[in-house]
Amino acid sequence: MKIALIGYGKMGQLIEKLAMGRGHEIVVKIHIDNTEEFTRPNLQKANVAIEFTGPDSAFENIKRCIDYNLPVVSGSTGWNENLESIRAYCKEKNGSFLHASNFSIGVNIFFEVNKYLAKLMASHNQEYDVSLKEIHHTQKKDSPSGTAVTLAEQVLEIFKTKKNWVKGYSSNREDLSIISERIDPAPGTHQVKYSSGIDDIEIIHTAHNRGGFALGAIQAAEYIHDKKGIFTMQDVLQIK
């Protein structure tokens, strides 16, 4: 598999290392200092792109990959308001696109546990209140994290006494609080907590390093590089 890396920060460099270890070739590396190389001829050297940039550039980066008929996997977060637009554009252009707020196998299993626990707790929403907490390194650009937002949206879909998520603590029981902390060198911890006057129920995922995120992105690229359509990590991991 020939990969174009759109974004070559710490995550892009780790993806490069792991991808080469799996027998893949990195044929293009686009970063802030060589954006003039983000061209159709260069991108056509690859058969899949992996995009990890920032919320301000992700939409245009992905759109350009779709325009160049290159399947694209994106792990950029903080731009959820444009996700449906890019999915519609991908469908219109008959492209291939997969976005995930977190590519880690463990986190995607955690997502499923989160949904199941929310279903169990939904009928006890008068006794228990629910909140989220996430901890990341100080260089993380978005707050709350994309993973925390995904967890919150899953809870909101099921736990009907909550109307919306808010950043920081809220005493309004209709708000789902997401507490964000930035502490080095934490790669990522996410906690969903149900609290009552009697007890607490918590589920926690703690990443020890970035390896799971990078490996999952490569697995996603392996999955979509020869497909058309819009996919999720549930497709890659065959989670029903």
Quote the DSSP letter at residue 127.
Answer: T
- Other Cβ atoms closer than 10 A to 209: 11
Specify whether the CB–CB gap between 89 and 71 falls below 8 A.
no
Q: What is the model's pLDDT at position 160?
A: 87
Q: What is the model's pLDDT at position 179?
A: 97
Q: What is the model's pLDDT at position 209?
A: 87
User: pLDDT means per 10 residues in the chain (240 residues)?
Assistant: 96 96 97 95 97 94 97 93 96 97 92 96 95 92 89 95 95 96 91 97 94 94 97 89
Q: What is the model's pLDDT at position 185?
A: 87
Q: Give yes or no for a cis peptide into 144 (omega within 30° of 0).
A: yes
Q: What is the model's pLDDT at position 202?
A: 98
Beta strands 96-99 and 72-74 are parallel
Q: Which active-site residues does the annotation give?
A: 136, 140
CATH architecture for residues 2-103+211-237 = 3-Layer(aba) Sandwich (3.40)
The SS3 assignment for 175 reads: strand
Q: What is the model's pLDDT at position 56?
A: 92
Q: What is the model's pLDDT at position 142?
A: 82
Q: What is the model's pLDDT at position 151?
A: 97
Q: What is the model's pLDDT at position 216?
A: 95
Question: How is domain 105-206 classified at the CATH fold level?
Answer: Dihydrodipicolinate Reductase; domain 2 (3.30.360)
Please provide the size of the chain in residues: 240
Q: What is the model's pLDDT at position 186?
A: 84
Q: What is the model's pLDDT at position 111?
A: 95
Q: What is the model's pLDDT at position 78?
A: 85
Quote the DSSP letter at residue 105.
Answer: H
Q: What is the model's pLDDT at position 80?
A: 87
Residue ranges of the chain assigned to CATH 3.30.360.10: 105-206
- Which of 178, 188, 213, 177 lies closest to 135, judged by CA? 188
Residue ranges of the chain assigned to CATH 3.40.50.720: 2-103+211-237
